[in-house]
Amino acid sequence: MLVGDEDRLRPLLPAGLDLPIHDCKGVVPMDAPRPASAVRGDPEPSVTAAMRLLREGKACAAVSCGPTGATMAAAFFVLGRLDGVDRPAISLLVPRTDGGRLVLLDLGANVDSRPQHLVQFAAMGQAFAKVLGLGEEPRIGLLSNGEEPGKGDERVREAGARLAALPLPFVGNVEPAAAFRGACEVLVCDGFVGNIMLKTVEATAEVVTTILREEVLRQASAKAGAWLLRPALRRVRERTDYASQGGALLLGVRGVVVVGHGRSDASAVHSAVRYAARCAADGLVERVAAAMGTLPTVADDDLAAPPALQ
């Protein structure tokens, strides 16, 4: 079902493709300065309407390529959080070099997370990894600047101590290279750090492929070089351009919500919809909720802080 302005959407549908359209005139623009307020606007914005359809059981998942902050805010306010979740987290499934895959979270839903939030991300991420079939007991790693338990900033050291005390398969601090090679199936971090890590992967892949293209073309004829490199570079893009992979999942809200990149092409939107459908069919939210139910309830002043929606 498409959610948006029917007058604008209908003419864009190819002949013969008769998708239902939920008409809705409101929009949160990409550059909305305060998306958390914008999602409560009148007329109701499409992202809010989509979440309402989800809450009312008229849809089983929601996909949006609009502003991430707006999607998060709409999901937060309309769907609500799972019990035991203080802050939803954005997670992404990333290929490892050993052929496995890695759930990375949080990638930017939160900044200034407290240690207890990282513990919740770990539990949610692990449940998600199980749904995805990443092993019987997907291992949890904590992104850090060194492997020793004393490494990390205050937040990471405290989160590590709490995770080690829980009945979760926690492998301790993990550095980026070890995570990509297969040290864990779930890599947990604060959203500021995770977002920078993600953007550094994308930026580095761009830098490296640019250098390689220049160097190979310097050696080979342009034609031979292009023949050799085109499929290889496409493969690198597939494996490092996470934006093209169909979207990130917002974990911790009462519904399957996939956040697509604003520059998604048709193929990325297609992947995002398939991804959302699979998560819904696999009972993702129920399984994440069950995992959160096994976490001991934490009563500490950490949780007094309101979530920061950017």
- Contacting positions for a copy of itself (CB under 8 A): 33, 97, 108, 111-112, 143-146, 150-154, 156, 175-177, 179-180, 190-193, 195-197, 199-212, 215-216, 219-220, 225, 227-229, 231-233, 235-236, 239-240, 310
The nearer residue to a copy of itself, 219 or 297, going by C-beta atoms, is 219
The nearer residue to a copy of itself, 37 or 204, going by C-beta atoms, is 204
CB 171 → a copy of itself: shortest distance, Å? 17
Pairing between β-strand 2-4 and β-strand 21-23 as defined by DSSP bridges:
parallel
CB 296 → a copy of itself: shortest distance, Å? 27
Helices and strands of the chain, counted as H and E runs: 11, 10
The nearer residue to a copy of itself, 44 or 206, going by C-beta atoms, is 206
* Among 248, 271, 272, 269, CA closest to 125: 248
CB 156 → a copy of itself: shortest distance, Å? 8
The nearer residue to a copy of itself, 43 or 262, going by C-beta atoms, is 262
- How many CB atoms are closer than 10 A to CB 222? 9
Phi, psi for residue 284 in degrees, rounded to 5: -55, -50
CB 252 → a copy of itself: shortest distance, Å? 19
The nearer residue to a copy of itself, 25 or 96, going by C-beta atoms, is 96
Q: Which two tokens stand for residue 226?
A: 């292009």
Q: Which two tokens stand for residue 71?
A: 């999607």
CB 212 → a copy of itself: shortest distance, Å? 5
Phi, psi for residue 44 in degrees, rounded to 5: -60, 125
Pairing between β-strand 62-64 and β-strand 2-4 as defined by DSSP bridges:
unpaired
Can you say whether the dihedral through the CA atoms of 198, 250, 27, 307 is positive or negative?
negative
